[in-house]
Structure 1
Amino acid sequence: MRKLLAAFAAATMLALASGAQAQTYPDRPITMVVPFAAGGPTDTVTRLVAEAMSKDLGQQIVVENVGGAGGTLGAARVAKADPDGYTLLLHHIGMATSATLYRKLPYDTLQAFDYVGLVTDVPMTIVARKDFEPADIKSLLDYVKANKDKVTLANAGIGAASHLCGMMFMSAIQTPLVTVPYKGTGPAMTDLLGGQVDMMCDQTTNTTKQIKAGTIKAYAVTSAKRLDVLPDLPTAEEAGLAGFQVGIWHGIYAPKGTPAEITERLSKSLQLALKDANVAARFAELGTAPSTEAEATPAALKAKLESEIARWKPVIEAAGQFAD
């Protein structure tokens, strides 16, 4: 009985401490980890949202770039952090695909994190060097199928958005291409601009500026409908790629065991941030839109992650591109 009473008292004290912590949260700066290099598409999204959330929370959110291993190094860093709400992770679709891509993850994707909410779902674009021969998306499909052994498809490394979209593209056209992995989106785009590689499939947050400037050739967008920011760019479905819709969704996570009061506070702050006029305007310029209030919730992000793990598992296994 004494042991039971002691255990009950300890649990009560822990709950009281957790409640007190949640009531004063946040009382110091928060670190938001981006598991990719600075300057990339996910980093851009993170910095916009972090700035807006900082205003509401009354504490600065410091963005920390922890790149490497397709985003898994940064995710592992957050998984091991204290569950006190002061270390967060903003990750994209790679959070779901890494569960299949990597044979030896240092964390259990569905068990190592708590959820804050969805941030945005960025469309992808199929682009090429500006002097690539095909004139439009339909002729592109014919060309790559006829020249599959010499067409080069760049990506920013295993687990990157461009890698995932590239796999989906090859699966959709049932044609394997020569893939060229880089150590980030920047080097991949640099070589595409320089004509060292032929094609890439990447987020509008990284390609819109180059498309508008005419420094790369754009063929299609992977959204369900055309984008206001790129109205002349057809959807992949318009070209006959039925069901080819790829969005690089982003979400915010906390270490497992973070008090529910804190994740709910962060979720409310995220919802306000996504209504910020500057965030909405900048997202529109980049070809994307903020998540809705209903999507920027722990439950919505959890459901999205679970469904996306199931969706991508057969695609990755069929491609046979795994990492240790």
Structure 2
Amino acid sequence: MQRRTFAAASLLLAGTLLTACTDASGSGNGSEDYPSDQITMIVPFPAGSAPDSTARTLASVMETELGQRIVIENKEGGSGTIGLSELAAAEPDGYTISWFASPGVTMQWQRIDTPFEGPEAITPVAQAISVGTVMFAASDSGLTTIEDIVAAAEAAPGEISVALPGEGSGMDLAVRELEAVAEIEFDRIYVGAGEQIQPVVNGTYDLGAAQAPPVVQYVERGDLSWIGVFGDAVPAGIDAPLVADSEYEIDPTAVAGYEGIVAPAGTPEEIVDALAAAVETAVASEEFSEYISSTHGIAQFTGPDELAQKIDDGTATATELIERYGL
């Protein structure tokens, strides 16, 4: 009897120990040994796009820091919200993360039909870059400063045309905010993403607004001139003033875009911290710095708490702008 009881107790103890060991390390996905497997990074934009290139460059450096491969999966559509909705449905274990651009997280989910439910569905990890919107004009237009274009719009209300990618885009909001602050009116023309440069070069429209990289070559060969940069930082290699430094003060949360990494809601803090540390190191790396310089970007790291506040502020501002402009 005693022997059978001891044997049973021994079996029970062995089972308990086995269960404990399995819980601790059997899945390989515990936060205490994170990461122990490859990580999937969703990029909610097309392969070869600017956000995709930035995400891939950052991920390649993060792989060294984390000691695991990061596999990129492009899930485009819905102004960046389709990929974010897939992220939100993933397990919050750190093995599925996503690149993001701020409009998709703060604004677009509020104004388009998308399964993404907004900031409550994600955990902010880190910002990696800021995205500056630049305004430009044909080099022979005589328009070279913010003051020039405001004066032109005052002299001809609603007649100075501005080529923009789409209604509700960051560029559109920047121009609308300038109109409001300067008490002017432009003729806003929505030409589609990536199509706002050539019509300004050939004189079809007076002004354009875009992210800096695709405009640089036209400025360098003398076709276009910089007017100013919306946001809180000037992109690398861009010789243009901040609009914020002029007399027209525009809320940076309305016009300053940013990109980085988020995880599903409920991701453990220690995993978020590990990912954020890898992003911080990657942003400061020589490889990423060279990429940013070559693409005329703005490297800017912010951690989880600051990014969460930034997203909250941006979402509140987006709600206000949607109501104000009927977007």
Give the TM-score of the pair, scaled to structure 2.
0.78
Query: How far apart are 1:37 and its partner, in Å?
Result: 3.3
Q: Percent identity?
A: 24
Q: Which residue of 2 aligns with 1:252?
A: 261
Q: Indicate conservation of the 8 Å contact 2:29/2:37, yes or no.
A: no
Cα distance in 1 for partners of 2:163, 2:36 equals 42
1:229 aligns with 2:258: no
1:277 aligns with 2:279: no
2:73 alignment partner, SS class: strand
Which structure 2 residues correspond to residues 289-308 of structure 1 after superposition, within 5 A?
289-292=298-301, 295=302, 297-308=303-314
Cα distance in 2 for partners of 1:60, 1:208 equals 34
Task: Give the unaligned 5+ runs of structure 2.
Answer: 1-18
User: More displaced, 152-161 or 301-310?
Assistant: 152-161
Cα distance in 2 for partners of 1:240, 1:234 equals 12
Query: How far apart are 1:75 and its partner, in Å?
Result: 1.9
- Deviations along 1:166-215, one digit per CA (max 9) or x if unpaired, are 3333333333433333443x333344445444322222344344433333
Q: How many residues align?
A: 304
Cα distance in 2 for partners of 1:166, 1:44 equals 27
Q: Give the residue type in structure 1 aligned to 2:325.
A: A
Query: How far apart are 1:16 and its partner, in Å?
Result: 7.8
Query: How far apart are 1:119 and its partner, in Å?
Result: 1.1
Q: Indicate conservation of the 8 Å contact 1:162/1:200, yes or no.
A: no
Pair 106,44 (structure 1): closer, same or farther in 2 beyond 3 Å? same
Query: How far apart are 1:117 and its partner, in Å?
Result: 1.0
Cα distance in 2 for partners of 1:189, 1:15 equals 56
- Deviations along 1:91-128, one digit per CA (max 9) or x if unpaired, are 222021225434x5423312111121111222221113
Q: Which residue of 2 aligns with 1:47?
A: 56
Q: Indicate conservation of the 8 Å contact 1:123/1:287, yes or no.
A: no
Residue 37 (structure 2) aligned to one of 27, 36, 53: 27
Task: Give the unaligned 5+ runs of structure 1.
Answer: 1-9
Q: Which residue of 2 aligns with 1:146?
A: 155
Bigger Cα Rg: 2
Q: Indicate conservation of the 8 Å contact 1:148/1:175, yes or no.
A: yes
Query: How far apart are 1:141 and its partner, in Å?
Result: 1.2
Q: Give the residue type in structure 2 aligned to 1:175.
A: I
User: More displaced, 268-277 or 138-147?
Assistant: 138-147
- Deviations along 1:229-273, one digit per CA (max 9) or x if unpaired, are 234x22224442124643211231112233333322211211111
Q: Indicate conservation of the 8 Å contact 2:121/2:265, yes or no.
A: yes
1:310 aligns with 2:316: yes
Pair 195,271 (structure 1): closer, same or farther in 2 beyond 3 Å? same
Which structure 2 residues correspond to residues 156-167 of structure 1 after superposition, within 5 A?
156-167=165-176
Q: Which residue of 1 aligns with 2:106?
A: 96
Q: Which residue of 1 aligns with 2:118?
A: 109
Q: Which residue of 2 aligns with 1:216?
A: 224
1:291 alignment partner, SS class: strand
User: More displaced, 241-250 or 118-127?
Assistant: 241-250
Q: Give the residue type in structure 2 aligned to 1:236.
A: V
Residue 262 (structure 1) aligned to one of 265, 271, 276: 271
Cα distance in 1 for partners of 2:42, 2:200 equals 28
Pair 164,92 (structure 1): closer, same or farther in 2 beyond 3 Å? farther
Aligned CA-pair RMSD: 3.2
Q: Which residue of 2 aligns with 1:118?
A: 127
Q: Indicate conservation of the 8 Å contact 1:137/1:219, yes or no.
A: yes
Cα distance in 1 for partners of 2:151, 2:125 equals 43
